[in-house]
Structure 1
Amino acid sequence: MNITIVDYNSGNISSVINSFSEVAKDKVNIEVTSDLNKIKSTDKVVLPGQGSFKSCVEALNSINGLVDTLNEFVISNKKPLLGICVGLQMFADIGYEETETKGLGWVPGKVSKIDNQDGKYKLPHIGWNQINLIKDSKIFKDIKNNSHMYFVHSYEFIPEDKSVISATTDYSSNIVCSVEKENIFGTQFHPEKSDKMGLKIINNFINL
C-alpha cells in the first residue's frame, strides 16, 4: 500500500513524515510529493497544513492541477484522505483568516476565529487538551474518550452538517476538533505531536 503526504510548501511537515514512517515501518510505502500522477495513483492521501488558511489555500493553488487532482481523488474516486490542522480547515467552503478565502468545499462550512471571550482565553489555543468523542470514527478505534491531544490554532472549523463531527474539545466553547465524512477524515489537533494516542490515530488511518 502507498500513502502520499502532499508537500505543497505549507511549512515544516517533518514531524508528520517521521510519525507516519514510524507507524508504517516497512509494511506501507510513505511518499512525500506534489507530483500529480503519484497522488492520483496512491491509496491514501495526507494533507497537512501549517500557517494561515489563506497561505495554505494559496500554496495549494500555486501548484498547477493539484486542487483538481485532490478533488478527483476525494470526491470522484472516494479514496481516504486525512487533513491535519489547516489541512482539515481547508475542507470548508470559506475561511476568514487574513481575508475571506475560498476553501476546497468538501465539507460545507466555514472557518472563523475562536471567540476568546474578550481575552479570557489565550489565542492561539496551544498545548494539550482533552477531546470529547461524539461518534464512532474509524480513526478513533481504541482511543478512549477524554484522551489528550496537542493543539496549535486560533481558528475553528464550523461545519453546516453537525453529523460530520466526530470529536470536540472544550476551549472557550465546544470546538470541532475532528470530522469524518465518508472517505474524508480531518483533525484540528496534531496527531503527529500527540504522543502514543496520536500515533494510534495515524495507525488507524493507515489500516482503514
Structure 2
Amino acid sequence: MRKVALIDYGAGNLRSVENALRAAGAEDVAVTADPEVVLEAERIVLPGVGAFAACMGGLSALPGMIEALDEAVCREARPFLGICVGMQLMADEGLEFGRHQGLGWIPGSVSLMKPADPALKVPHMGWNDVIPSISHPLLLPGEAYFLHSYAFACADEADCAATTDHGGPVTAAVARGTMIGVQFHPEKSQAYGLAFLSRFLEWRP
C-alpha cells in the first residue's frame, strides 16, 4: 500500500486512527508533523478531536503545514480524508468560541447543533445511520460512531455527501474532487469504519 501521511498536530487520537488504517490494509503510515512528508505522501489523513479554534491553531503552528496541505490536496489533488474536527477544518469558518477561519476548501461553516427535539442531547454521541446523499464510491449506507457538538453546514448542497439524523438532518460527510471528510469516527466504527478506510486506501479518484 502506498504511503499515508497521518498528520500529528496535537489534536487527534492518532494511535487509534493509525491502528485502524493498518487494520484496513495500509502498510506504510507516517505519523508526521513534517510538511515535507505530507508533500511526498500519496494519501493524507487529518484527524481531529476538540474545539475548532484549538485544532486550527495547532495546525497553523506547524511551520509550512497549511501551505503543504494546500499544495498536495488542492493543487496536486492527492486523496485526502478529514475525520471529525479534521473534516470541520475543511470549511470556511468555525463558530465555536468566536469566529475562526478554516482551510476554506469546501464552502460552509461549522456551528453548534440545535436539534429540533429538545429532548435530544448535544453532543451527538453514539451509533447512528450514515445516509449517502450523493453517489460516492467511499460512502455506503450503514451505522457509524459519532461524537460531536458542532456540525458542518455546506454552502452548496452538492458538497454534502451524506447525512445522519439528530433532531433533523446533520452532515455526516462532505466531498469534493479528491477530498472527503467524515463527521463520524471510522476508527471507532468497527466493521463499517474499517471497510470505509479500506475503500479510501484503494480510492483512485
Name the TM-score class by shorter chain. Answer: over 0.9
2:55 matched to 1:56?
Answer: yes
Q: Distance in 2 between matches of 1:116 and 1:8?
A: 31
Specify the code of the residue in structure 2 equivalent to 1:156: A
Is 1:162–2:163 an aligned residue pair?
no
CA RMSD of aligned residues (A): 1.2
- Structure 1 segments of 4 or more deviating over 6 A? none
Aligned to 1:108: 107
Alignment TM-score, normalising by the size of structure 2 = 0.95
Q: Which residue does the alignment assign to 2:179?
A: 184
For residue 74 of structure 1, report the CA deviation from its aligned partner: 1.0
The corresponding residue for 1:65 is 64
Report the equivalent of 2:120. Answer: 121
Structure 2 spans left out of the alignment, 5+ residues:
none
Are 1:24 and 2:28 matched, yes or no? no
Mapped to 2, the partners of 1:2 and 1:110 lie a distance apart of 31
Q: Does 2:189 match 1:194?
A: yes
CA shift digits 1:23-67 (9 cap, x unpaired): 125xx3111101111110110000000001111000001111111
The 8 Å contact of residues 24 and 30 in structure 1, kept in 2 or not, is answered as no
2:149 equivalent to 1:139? no
C-alpha contact 1:132 1:169 (8 A) present in aligned 2: yes
1:47 aligned residue:
46
Q: Normalization by structure 1: what TM-score?
A: 0.94
When the two structures are aligned, how many residues end up with a matched partner? Answer: 202
Query: Match for residue 4 of structure 2?
Result: 3
The alpha carbon displacement at 1:188 in A equals 0.3
What percentage of residue pairs aligned between the two structures are identical? 36
Paired AA for residue 5 in structure 2: T
